[in-house]
Structure 1
Amino acid sequence: METPVRVQLRDTSAVAVSKKLVELRRTGGVVTQGRVLTLIVCAGDARGLEASISAATDASREHPCRVIVVGRGRGDGPSRMDAEIRVGGEAGASEVLILALHGELGDHQESVLVPFLVPDTPVVAWWPNTSPAVPARDPVGRLAVRRITDATNAENPRAAISARLAGYTPGDTDLAWARVTYWRALLVSALDQPPHEPVISATVSGLRTEVALDLLAGWLASRIDCPVQRADGPLRVELRTPTQSIVLGRPQDGRVATLSRTAKPDSLITLARRDSAECLTEELRRLDPDEIYEAALSALPKVEYV
Structure 2
Amino acid sequence: MIIELPDTSTKAIAAELAAARESHSLTTGRVLTLLVAIDDSGADTIDDTLATLRDASFEHPARVLVLISGAPEAATRLDAQVLVATDAGASEVVVMRLYGELTSHLGAVVTPLLLPDTPVVACWPQKAPGHPAGTQLGRIAQRRITNLRRGGSGMTLEDLTAGYEHGDSDMMWSRITPWRGIVASALDRHPGKRVESAEIAGAAGDPSVDLAAGWLASSLGVQVTRCSAHVTGDFPIARLVLHCEDGDVVVAVQDSHTVRISVPGHADSLVAMVERSDAESLAEDLRHLGPDATYERALRGLSGVDVEL
TM-score for the superposition, normalised by structure 1: 0.93
State the shift of 1:237 in Å: 1.1
Q: Which moved more, 1:120-129 or 1:241-250?
A: 241-250
Q: Write out per-residue CA displacement over residues 229-281 of structure 1, whole angstroms, 9 at most, x where no aligned residue.
A: 11000411111112221211224x63222122234322222213211111111
1:247: which partner in 2? 250
Contact 1:152 1:209 in 2 (8 A): no
- Over the residues paired in the alignment, what is the CA RMSD in angstroms? 1.5
In structure 2, which of residues 142, 147, 151 is the aligned counterpart of residue 145 of structure 1? 142
* Pair 1:222 & 2:222 matched: no
Residue pair 2:178, 2:274 contacting (<8 A) in 1 also = no
For residues 8 and 152 of structure 2, the distance between their equivalents in structure 1, rounded to whole angstroms, comes to: 34
Deviation at 1:58, TM superposition (A): 1.5
- The aligned counterpart of 1:98 is 95
Structure 2 residue identity aligned to 1:218: G
CA distance in 2, matches of 1:16, 1:240: 62
Q: Which residue of 2 aligns with 1:75?
A: 72
| Aligned with residue 272 of structure 1, among 255, 271, 274 | 274
CA-to-aligned-CA distance 1:145-200 (integer Å, 9 cap, x gap): 0000111112267x521211110110001111111111111111111124520111
Letter in 2 for 1:279: S
- Are residues 1:109 and 2:112 paired? no
Where does 1:1-306 land on structure 2 (aligned, <5 Å)?
A: 5-32=1-28, 34-46=29-41, 48-155=45-152, 160-234=156-230, 235-251=238-254, 254-306=256-308
How far the C-alpha of 1:77 sits from its partner, in A, is: 2.7
Distance (whole Å) between structure 1 residues aligned to residue 153 and residue 258 of structure 2 = 28
How far apart are 1:50 and its partner, in Å?
1.7
Q: Which runs of 5+ in 1 are unaligned?
A: none
Distance 1:131 1:85 in 2: 26
Who is 2:234 aligned against? none
- The answer as to whether partners of 1:74 and 1:102 remain within 8 angstroms in 2 is yes
TM-score by length of 2: 0.92
Counterparts of 2:153 and 2:24, CA distance in 1: 44
For residues 221 and 164 of structure 2, the distance between their equivalents in structure 1, rounded to whole angstroms, comes to 24
Aligned residues: 299
- For 1:264, what is the secondary structure of its paired residue? coil
**Separation in 1, partners of 2:204, 2:87:** 34
1:30, distance to aligned residue in structure 2 (A)? 1.3
Report the Cα offset of residue 23 of structure 1.
1.4
